Amino acid sequence: MKVAFFNTKSYDRQSFNSANEQHQHEIIFFESHLSHETVSLAVGFSTVCIFINDYLDAEILEKLAHGGTKLIALRSAGFNHVDLVAANKFEIAIVRVPAYSPFAVAEHAAALILSLNRKVHRAYNRVREGNFSIEGLLGFDLHGATVGVIGTGRIGAIFSQIMYGFGCKLLGYDAYQNTVCLKLGMEYVSMSELFAKSDIISLHCPLTAESHHLINAEAIAQMKHGVMLINTSRGGLIDTQAAIDSLKSGAIGYLGIDVYEQEADLFFEDLSSQVIQDDTFQRLLTFPNVIVTGHQAFFTSEALANIAETTLSNISEFEQTGDCANAIKIDKAIASK
């Protein structure tokens, strides 16, 4: 199929060109995001492939439909950036990559925990400047700490296995109990109980209308003073201003985020020569007990290979059958919102 790839970096082109040797789709890579300004580039492409920071609203979907697009292939698991009602209306199918490397994201969440706890980010800078003082670098044993996992699907379960390996006690919150987690001794509790009892809380649920700002001032007020909060899922799960207020008061003792609610204007680009205009984001960076990474949790070579292979297989399957096992069942997804 003729596929327009938007928002591509060198690593995308490399992994997709390699995987396409099998599939032989006709691929054109664009560096630009898919937006109101660039949507005309997609005219004549039956398939458009996008990443998480390409927002598909009704207007863009309508233009894509008029240009002949029948399929949107997401290079991601999450689909909160697509207006599913409009996609349904304009008869555009949406396929995604439900799992590419849950290990990558779970391991990154663990990396944030270890770095924040043992202050590796601060120690790195100190030692490079010849400062070998360990004042202020005091950590705590993860062994025996209580870890609350919100969303115990694929990534949450692997994250739970990792934390179990450190000797942590596991609490879970999810409508569905995962047998992998139950075998680790995870206790499923209410959200309030998880907030009240956890030393570390890690978010592994999708962003939906229901979970938007799941972590707000009211939720933080229920948590242990000095809690460690980790978000490798989606930025919109945390009310950033509430997190900043709680960091200032000490209610949040550590914050590790790979995602940020306004990340679309920042992440994946080199802005090192520019003045960043987002004051909320800049305030976050001033805290010594905050680590921000730029949506890199997924970024392992295994994950990139899996994303490329699954995306191209999704397109092939749609081309051959008119449907795809990884298609988002739009009616169902809308109903669950």
Out of 12, 54, 258, 309, the only residue in the binding site for ligand NAD (CB under 6 A) is 258
59 touches 37 (CB < 8 A): no
153 is a contact residue toward ligand NAD (CB under 6 A):
yes
Strands 2-5 and 227-231, bridge-based pairing: unpaired
From the list 133-141, 148-156, 222-230, 245-253, the region that binds ligand NAD by CB under 6 A is: 148-156
176 is a contact residue toward ligand NAD (CB under 6 A):
yes
Which residues neighbour 246 within 8 Å (Cβ) at sequence distance 6 or greater?
Answer: 217, 220, 252
User: Could you tell me which of 16, 86, 13 has the C-alpha nearest to residue 314?
Assistant: 16
294 is a contact residue toward ligand NAD (CB under 6 A):
no
Out of 12, 54, 174, 309, the only residue in the binding site for ligand NAD (CB under 6 A) is 174
16 touches 51 (CB < 8 A): no
Helix (H, G, I), strand (E, B) or coil at 105: helix
Strand partners, 29: 5
Catalytic residue (one of 23, 154, 263, 309) = 263
260 is a contact residue toward ligand NAD (CB under 6 A):
no
Helix (H) or strand (E) holding 47: strand 47-50
CA 2, CA 24: separation in Å to the nearest integer?
10
Q: Which two tokens stand for residue 318?
A: 């749609």
CB closer to ligand NAD, 267 vs 318:
267
Out of 115, 117, 202, 233, the only residue in the binding site for ligand NAD (CB under 6 A) is 233
Out of 46, 152, 240, 313, the only residue in the binding site for ligand NAD (CB under 6 A) is 152
Whether 295 is catalytic: yes
CA 159, CA 291: separation in Å to the nearest integer?
18
Q: Helices 154-165 and 102-118 sit at what angle, rounded to 10 degrees?
A: 40
From the list 31-39, 84-92, 162-170, 199-207, the region that binds ligand NAD by CB under 6 A is: 199-207
CB closer to ligand NAD, 49 vs 205:
205
204 is a contact residue toward ligand NAD (CB under 6 A):
yes
120 is a contact residue toward ligand NAD (CB under 6 A):
no
Whether 37 is catalytic: no
Distance of closest approach, residue 68 Cβ to ligand NAD, in angstroms: 30
Catalytic residue numbers, as ranges: 234, 263, 295
